[in-house]
């Protein structure tokens, strides 16, 4: 069956199931929040987040079709992929920040991967305090492939009715990594005009208990390496409203994480062209840290230029380091008097970012019959990024220390303006939203830690990119909304894509003529709601142009290290297209007990690379089906959910690259919660109830050898629980 026929079949099949939604207008659509972003938006609100198990970020998106969390180590967010695009997972660090992220309006630092050991992800906050998560799929004004907004709770979210002071104690356990957490939040209405909160969360975690695995020493090991770690998160807010028209918010946030892993899969003797190499011990310590402060001001007042204004100034500093230490014996061939040679090796890979950002947002409504809802704003940002590798070798000949800068420290100035106008035509139900955004960037490298020869090749990069879009919304009636959305987005070159000095084994050839990446997205969206439930169906087509990549064709073949690698824009266009569906049906309308529901969702995507090969990054058909019950008074609830994925076939992967497919799976989870009192909440879950062996394609792709994917399997049967007390 061709994709077109399969897509049509899926669309018709679920249309038959949801057509009854249009027959009952007792429940109307939720208000549409109009902005310059894509309309393909999913929102996880406080009610949904509060009833779930103790979560890492991967679990938050587990039931969101076509969204994957890539982790660099368990409990560490590496990056987020949307529709197969976002995380680079490349050895040489290109393609970061295609899916942008923000926390309380502050940009989350991009990931940075380089070489075999530098894995610096985006784990700079804890999910415990999250109030809302918004997911914008596809090209939009904030991301070439998508955008994710995280919002933390306000002081009032922790207060019971008629309270002026309050607190929350929370604890949880998740068995997939034998992880625990404890948290406490204190909040108070300081006066009629001000309120404050302070929240602290501590987590402990161990290695990920993947289902498939051989617990041996050496490269044949497929169990996760032994590891342990912890994190601390502090989130504080101070709100001050001198009047109904003004609100000031001060955010202070701190996060740190440390994870120690014993890399027993590297402990073995291997042959090289120079002799043999034996690794006796090898340890990796990963540390992340973030400091952030932000002051924002909201003004609700009708003026000539705005009805609502929001501005924010934010300062952030993030540090990520990966420290490796081990002992090695090398033996030369033929054997020499100095052989064997024992040495201790240490390396420290660090990635630091600093940023200062000013954002302003304005909303203005004009007109009566033909109404213009203007949304416009400005962003100014200065940032600095640095990546250094320090190595030390201790042997019989003494100590050798080196500091390497594969990329120079860079200063970046960025300015961005955006404007959108939702034009509504009376009671016709029709609206048009044109939008435009303009970004200018200037990147200036520093010569520190760069050789004199290479510093002569440094250049200042300047460019401007424009994006635009048009969305057409038509409310057919009170329960059906149809949208046609087109967006053109851009991504200017980032850190690791300018002024490269070296790629380890090979020299680098900086490219001052890199073009911005661009993407085009077209979506047709149908949203409907009624007493029987609600659903969202999206047909989409995304196209990507000028993707930045490292061309190693010439340099990889050169064993002398004389031919530089080229950083270039991909010629041609890659694209993906498919269907996404998400729904919740109230089964009590069919005669079952009140509160019984059915949750379903799936995503099916196909695509081609710029050289006309199948898109290997794309997930196969994936989705979930959940049946549950929620007490009418929300006293308790229970849900049974099956997560599934079809087989990823080898023939759907690029040819002649040695890539292998992955078996499909269906995994059963059982969860329940009980609100013992208004203050006390209990949640429990049994995950992978049938103890299935399976792997997610997003994590296993490109690493399967001879059909063996054990190393990338998810956890087997495990238990989770959380408790929350509010007083």
Looking at residues 716-724, what average pLDDT do you find? Answer: 94
Q: Strands 269-272 and 246-262: what pairing?
A: unpaired
Per the structure, how many domains does the chain have?
Answer: 1
By the 10 Å C-beta count (0-12 exposed, 13-18 middle, 19+ buried), 566 is classed as middle
Q: In the prediction, which pLDDT does 3 show?
A: 39
pLDDT tens for residues 611-637? 899 999 999 999 999 999 999 999 999
Please provide the average confidence, as pLDDT, over all residues in the chain: 88
Q: In the prediction, which pLDDT does 37 show?
A: 38
- Residue 503 CB contacts under 8 Å (≥ 6 apart), including other chains: 92, 406, 550, 552, 555, 565
Q: What are phi and psi of 115, to 5 degrees?
A: 70, -160
pLDDT tier at 559 (50, 70, 90 boundaries)? low
Query: Does residue 682 surpass a pLDDT of 80?
Result: yes
Q: In the prediction, which pLDDT does 47 show?
A: 62
Query: Does residue 691 surpass a pLDDT of 90?
Result: yes
553 neighbors 595 (Cβ within 8 angstroms): no
Domain CATH for 530:
2.40.170.20
- Lookup result for tokens 């549950």: 628
Q: Note the pTM of the prediction, 2 decimals.
A: 0.90
Tell which wins on pLDDT, 27 or 584: 584
Q: In the prediction, which pLDDT does 608 show?
A: 94
Q: Strands 430-445 and 461-477: what pairing?
A: antiparallel
Looking at residues 391-397, what average pLDDT do you find? Answer: 82
Q: How far, in Å, are 24, 67, 582, 632, 666 from residue 598 at the CA level? A: 18, 21, 11, 16, 17
pLDDT tens for residues 495-553? 888 888 888 778 888 888 999 999 999 999 999 998 999 999 999 999 999 999 888 88
Tell which wins on pLDDT, 452 or 229: 229
Sheet holding 99-103, edge to edge: 41-44, 130-137, 146-152, 99-103, 106-107
Q: In the prediction, which pLDDT does 18 show?
A: 41
Domain that holds residue 88: 3-726
pLDDT tens for residues 649-678? 988 999 888 889 999 999 999 999 999 998
Query: Does residue 91 surpass a pLDDT of 80?
Result: no
Q: Which of 84-93, 225-234, 241-250, 297-306 has the lowest mean pLDDT?
A: 84-93
pLDDT tens for residues 204-248? 999 999 998 799 999 999 999 999 999 999 999 999 999 999 999
Tell which wins on pLDDT, 56 or 442: 442
Looking at residues 250-255, what average pLDDT do you find? Answer: 98
Looking at residues 363-388, what average pLDDT do you find? Answer: 95
């Amino acid at each position: 069956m061709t994709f077109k026929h399969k897509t049509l079949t899926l669309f018709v099949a679920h249309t038959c199931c949801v057509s009854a939604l249009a027959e009952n207008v007792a429940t109307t659509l939720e208000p549409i929040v109009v902005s310059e972003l894509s309309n393909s938006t999913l929102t996880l609100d406080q009610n949904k987040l509060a009833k779930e198990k103790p979560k890492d970020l991967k679990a938050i998106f587990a039931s969101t079709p076509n969204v994957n969390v890539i982790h660099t180590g368990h409990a560490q967010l590496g990056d987020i992929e949307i529709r197969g695009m976002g995380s680079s997972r490349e050895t040489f660090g290109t393609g970061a920040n295609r899916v942008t992220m923000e926390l309380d309006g502050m940009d989350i630092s991009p990931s940075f991967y380089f070489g075999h050991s530098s894995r610096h992800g985006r784990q700079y906050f804890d999910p415990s305090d999250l109030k809302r998560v918004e997911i914008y799929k596809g090209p939009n004004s904030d991301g070439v492939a998508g955008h994710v907004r995280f919002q933390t709770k306000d002081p009032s979210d922790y207060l019971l009715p008629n309270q002026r002071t309050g607190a929350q104690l929370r604890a949880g356990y998740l068995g997939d990594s034998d992880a625990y957490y404890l948290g406490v939040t204190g909040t108070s209405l300081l006066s009629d005009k001000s309120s404050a909160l302070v929240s602290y969360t501590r987590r402990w975690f161990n290695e990920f208990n993947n289902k498939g695995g051989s617990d041996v020493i050496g490269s044949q090991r497929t169990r996760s390496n032994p590891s342990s770690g912890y994190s601390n998160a502090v989130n504080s807010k101070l709100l001050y409203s001198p009047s109904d028209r003004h609100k000031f918010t001060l955010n202070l946030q701190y996060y740190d994480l440390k994870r120690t892993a014993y890399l027993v899969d590297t402990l073995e003797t291997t042959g090289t062209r120079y002799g043999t190499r034996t690794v006796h011990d090898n340890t990796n310590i990963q540390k992340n840290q973030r400091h952030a402060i932000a002051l924002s001001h909201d003004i609700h007042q009708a003026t000539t230029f705005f009805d609502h204004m929001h501005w924010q100034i934010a300062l952030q500093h993030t540090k990520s380091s990966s420290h490796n230490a081990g002992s090695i014996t090398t033996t030369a061939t033929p054997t020499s008097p100095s052989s064997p040679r024992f040495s201790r090796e240490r390396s420290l890979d660090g990635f630091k970012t600093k940023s200062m950002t000013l954002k302003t947002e304005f909303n203005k409504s004009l007109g009566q019959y033909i109404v213009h809802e203007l949304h416009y704003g400005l962003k100014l940002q200065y940032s600095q990024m640095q990546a250094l590798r320090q190595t030390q070798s201790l042997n019989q000949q003494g100590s050798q220390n080196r500091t390497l800068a594969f990329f120079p420290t860079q200063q970046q100035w960025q300015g961005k303006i955006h404007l959108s106008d939702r034009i509504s035509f009376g009671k016709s139900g029709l609206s048009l939203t044109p939008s435009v955004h303009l970004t200018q960037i200037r990147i200036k490298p520093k010569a520190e830690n760069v050789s004199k020869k290479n510093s002569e090749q440094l250049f200042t990069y300047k460019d401007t990119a424009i994006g635009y879009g048009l969305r057409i919304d038509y409310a057919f009636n009170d329960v059906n909304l149809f949208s046609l959305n087109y967006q053109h987005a851009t991504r200017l070159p980032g850190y690791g894509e300018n002024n490269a000095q070296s790629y380890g084994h090979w020299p680098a050839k900086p490219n001052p003529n890199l073009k911005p990446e661009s993407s085009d997205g077209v979506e047709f969206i149908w949203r409907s709601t009624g007493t029987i439930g609600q659903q969202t169906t999206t047909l989409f087509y995304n196209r990507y142009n000028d993707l930045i990549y490292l061309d190693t064709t010439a340099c990889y073949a050169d064993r002398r290290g004389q031919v530089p690698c080229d950083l270039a824009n991909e010629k041609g266009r890659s694209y993906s297209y498919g269907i996404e569906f998400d729904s919740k049906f109230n089964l009590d309308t069919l005669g079952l007990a009140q509160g019984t529901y059915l949750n379903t969702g799936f995503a099916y995507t196909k695509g081609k690379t710029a050289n006309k090969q199948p898109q290997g990054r794309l997930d196969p058909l994936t989705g979930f089906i959940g049946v549950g019950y929620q007490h009418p008074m929300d006293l308790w609830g229970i849900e049974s959910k099956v997560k599934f994925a079809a087989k990823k076939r080898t023939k759907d992967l690029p040819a002649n690259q040695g890539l292998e497919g992955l078996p499909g799976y269906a995994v059963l989870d059982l969860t329940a919660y009980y609100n013992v009192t208004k203050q006390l909440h209990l949640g429990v879950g049994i995950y992978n109830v049938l103890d299935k062996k399976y792997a997610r394609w997003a994590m296993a792709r490109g690493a399967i050898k001879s059909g063996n994917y054990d190393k990338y399997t998810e956890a087997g049967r495990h238990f989770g629980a959380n408790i929350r007390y509010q007083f």
